[in-house]
């Protein structure tokens, strides 16, 4: 209560080492204020909200209300968010200077038998990966354990053989949530079959797509879930050592992950003799130094080993020849976070959710020109329109939907006529995009699609490692051509050359970054070719974004 702290609200990084605790509660709390402490709300001052509410309740002598730090509540656009789970009320935009309305409500709030029907943003979601997000204190392992945390791991190591765990994951039909959608069970089985030891389990937390923050939110809100998934995977494939490769730009996720590893070791869920069994598994954290390409698995492994983060040709695949030449299992954050629920409830339960060849749920980060920017989890196969208009709340300020960008720099832009499509791996690929890790950037009629393509090409150009020629020089050349188009000085021959180069970069690049770098260009050319032509033939930008030149084309 008497802690000295700076007056200016700071970013997500924690400002003091000792955490202020909530007000003392006598007996069972009548109501709880769950204050979101994920990066979005924190940067809007939610840590101050926590302290002001606590101070207010203490000074008013209230002893039957708890105040709790929780992870991401999802509706990031309206932060800082405070939820009273007993009544199902959500307070939005709570300002640290003005918490009296919230405190007044807390003083009288009573648990209600039937909670009010929630708005579509919450009602239409199905939460598996995010089931604890916004419910538990991410830095409190007891909170996680109280919600069946680590029971999947205990079940796996005490009641199941490694093969049974793999069978369960195979039965679930889950596919890798990192982007490519490789069947998770198959990947695990491949690593499990390798004879060489030691084996490694790696968690790819190098999330870097512009507009994507799924992995960050999961790590900030429920870090133990990822560790549990990794430990189950390690048991299944026979690994004894794991690495979480997290980007250093996520200081809060790193801090909570560190704390989670420490507490899980103390509680016997990591380390030697897990849950009393002979199984041992140690996890170490490795921080990325800001290179997008390190999300590519071979570059990621090079970086973990202390080398320069550049991809190497596959095969050999990491499953056979990974970290230090040993068999290595690499999955992303969301994949591991799905595993505890699969082991707990069974693969069949998981495969009953979703559609066709895309089972389960997918976490998406809604960003851009959309009312409800935030984090959502929906069953696979949901219509794109439902995600953007029902859950996302549509376009703000009366704007008109133009396109949604999925899959980041490796993905594509989907136009209005595809709003009825189902969100699954196959449909997205057929539409010229990819599932990717789950970023969704919504654009309205104020966005120029050529400029969008140029933006992503600029991103790929900057993030290319520079090893192979098609990616290193090809992305730069494509960027120069796109710049020419946005400046209104391009010719139809330039457009032809752009397509030719795109085909070459896609076909000959070494790794996924280069192979998919032309995707934003191809998808915008496919659905918005008229905008390219307007820039070239009419020297006009239909969206009024580009400063097109009135000069004659340069020969």
Under the rule (CB under 8 A), what is the footprint of another protein? Answer: 291, 293, 308, 310, 312-313, 315, 461-477, 480-481, 497, 500-501, 504, 507-510, 515
Determine how many CB atoms are found less than 10 A away from the CB of residue 538.
11
In terms of CB distance, is 433 or 464 closer to another protein?
464
* Lateral strand order in the sheet of 82-84: 65-70, 31-36, 82-84, 89-91
Least distance from another protein to the Cβ atom of residue 494, Å: 10
Least distance from another protein to the Cβ atom of residue 7, Å: 39
Rounded Cα gap, residues 453 and 521, in angstroms: 5
In terms of CB distance, is 292 or 401 closer to another protein?
292
Angle at 200 between CA 194 and CA 204, to 5 degrees: 120
Please state the φ and ψ torsions of residue 503, each to the nearest 5 degrees.
-65, -40
Least distance from another protein to the Cβ atom of residue 490, Å: 11
In terms of CB distance, is 466 or 544 closer to another protein?
466
Long-range pairs for 478-481 at CB < 8 Å and ≥24 separation?
Answer: 478/502, 478/505, 478/517, 478/518, 478/521, 479/454
Rounded Cα gap, residues 38 and 181, in angstroms: 28
Determine how many CB atoms are found less than 10 A away from the CB of residue 458.
17
Least distance from another protein to the Cβ atom of residue 459, Å: 11
The CB-side HSE value for 407 (13 A sphere, CA atoms) comes to 27
| Assigned token pair, 531 | 């905008």
Please state the φ and ψ torsions of residue 368, each to the nearest 5 degrees.
90, -145
In terms of CB distance, is 74 or 470 closer to another protein?
470
Rounded Cα gap, residues 214 and 336, in angstroms: 13
Least distance from another protein to the Cβ atom of residue 488, Å: 17
Least distance from another protein to the Cβ atom of residue 246, Å: 20
Q: Looking at residue 60, what DSSP letter applies? A: T
Is residue 434 within 8 Å of 182, Cβ to Cβ? no
Least distance from another protein to the Cβ atom of residue 472, Å: 6
Least distance from another protein to the Cβ atom of residue 546, Å: 19
In terms of CB distance, is 258 or 472 closer to another protein?
472
In terms of CB distance, is 127 or 484 closer to another protein?
484
In terms of CB distance, is 299 or 366 closer to another protein?
299
Residues 6+ apart with CB under 8 A from 134: 34, 36, 70, 71, 72, 73, 74, 83, 221
In terms of CB distance, is 450 or 517 closer to another protein?
517
In terms of CB distance, is 238 or 520 closer to another protein?
520
Residues 6+ apart with CB under 8 A from 38: 71, 72, 73, 76, 217, 220, 221, 252
Question: 421 to each of 185, 219, 363, 368, 388, how far by Cα in Å?
Answer: 27, 30, 17, 20, 12
| Assigned token pair, 532 | 């390219």
Least distance from another protein to the Cβ atom of residue 418, Å: 24
Least distance from another protein to the Cβ atom of residue 86, Å: 51
In terms of CB distance, is 57 or 302 closer to another protein?
302
């Amino acid at each position: 209560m008497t802690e000295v702290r700076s007056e200016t609200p700071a970013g997500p990084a924690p400002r003091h080492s000792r955490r202020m605790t909530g007000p003392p509660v006598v007996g069972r709390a009548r109501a709880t204020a769950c204050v979101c402490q994920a990066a979005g709300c924190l940067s809007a001052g939610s840590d101050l909200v926590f302290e002001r509410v606590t101070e207010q309740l203490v000074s008013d002598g209230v002893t039957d209300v708890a105040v709790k730090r929780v992870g991401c509540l999802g509706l990031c656009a309206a932060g800082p968010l405070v939820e009273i789970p007993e009544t199902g009320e959500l307070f939005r935009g709570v300002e640290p200077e003005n918490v009296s309305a919230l405190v007044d409500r807390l003083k009288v709030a009573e648990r209600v038998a039937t909670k009010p029907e929630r708005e579509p943003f919450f009602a239409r979601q199905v939460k598996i990966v995010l089931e604890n997000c916004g419910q538990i204190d991410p830095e409190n392992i007891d909170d996680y354990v109280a919600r069946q945390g680590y029971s999947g791991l205990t079940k796996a190591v005490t009641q199941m053989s490694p093969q049974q765990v793999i069978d369960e994951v195979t039965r679930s039909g889950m596919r890798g949530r990192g982007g490519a959608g490789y069947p998770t069970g198959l990947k695990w089985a491949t690593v499990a079959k390798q004879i060489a030891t030691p084996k490694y389990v790696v968690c790819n937390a190098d999330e870097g797509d512009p507009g994507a923050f799924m992995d960050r939110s999961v790590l900030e809100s429920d870090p133990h879930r990822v560790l549990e998934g990794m430990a189950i995977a390690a048991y299944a494939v026979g690994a004894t050592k794991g690495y979480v490769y997290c980007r250093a730009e996520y200081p809060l996720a790193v801090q909570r992950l560190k704390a989670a590893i420490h507490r899980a070791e103390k509680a016997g869920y990591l380390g030697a003799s897990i849950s009393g069994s002979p199984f041992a598994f140690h996890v170490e954290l490795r921080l990325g130094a800001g290179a997008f390409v390190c999300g590519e698995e071979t570059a990621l492994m090079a970086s973990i080993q202390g080398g320069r983060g550049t991809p190497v040709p596959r095969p050999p695949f990491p499953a056979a020849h990974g970290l230090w030449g040993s068999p290595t299992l690499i999955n992303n954050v969301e994949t591991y976070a799905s595993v505890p629920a699969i082991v707990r409830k069974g693969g069949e339960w998981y495969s009953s959710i979703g559609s066709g060849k895309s089972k389960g749920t997918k976490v998406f980060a809604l960003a851009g020109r959309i009312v409800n920017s935030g984090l959502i989890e929906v069953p696979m196969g949901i219509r794109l329109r439902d995600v953007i208009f029902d859950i996302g709340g549509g376009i703000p300020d009366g704007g008109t939907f133009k396109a949604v960008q999925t899959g980041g720099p490796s993905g594509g832009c989907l136009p209005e006529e595809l709003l009825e499509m189902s969100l699954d791996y196959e449909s997205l690929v057929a539409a010229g995009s990819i599932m990717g890790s789950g970023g969704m950037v919504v654009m309205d009629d104020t966005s120029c699609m050529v400029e969008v393509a140029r933006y992503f090409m600029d991103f790929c150009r900057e993030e290319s490692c520079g090893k192979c020629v098609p990616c290193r020089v090809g992305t730069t050349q494509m960027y120069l051509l796109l710049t020419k188009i946005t400046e209104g000085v391009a010719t139809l021959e330039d457009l032809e050359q752009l397509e030719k180069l795109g085909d070459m970069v896609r076909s000959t690049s070494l790794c996924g970054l280069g192979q998919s770098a032309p995707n934003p260009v191809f998808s915008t050319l496919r659905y918005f070719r008229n905008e390219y032509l307007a820039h070239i033939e009419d020297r006009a930008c239909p969206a009024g974004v580009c400063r097109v030149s009135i000069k004659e084309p340069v020969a």
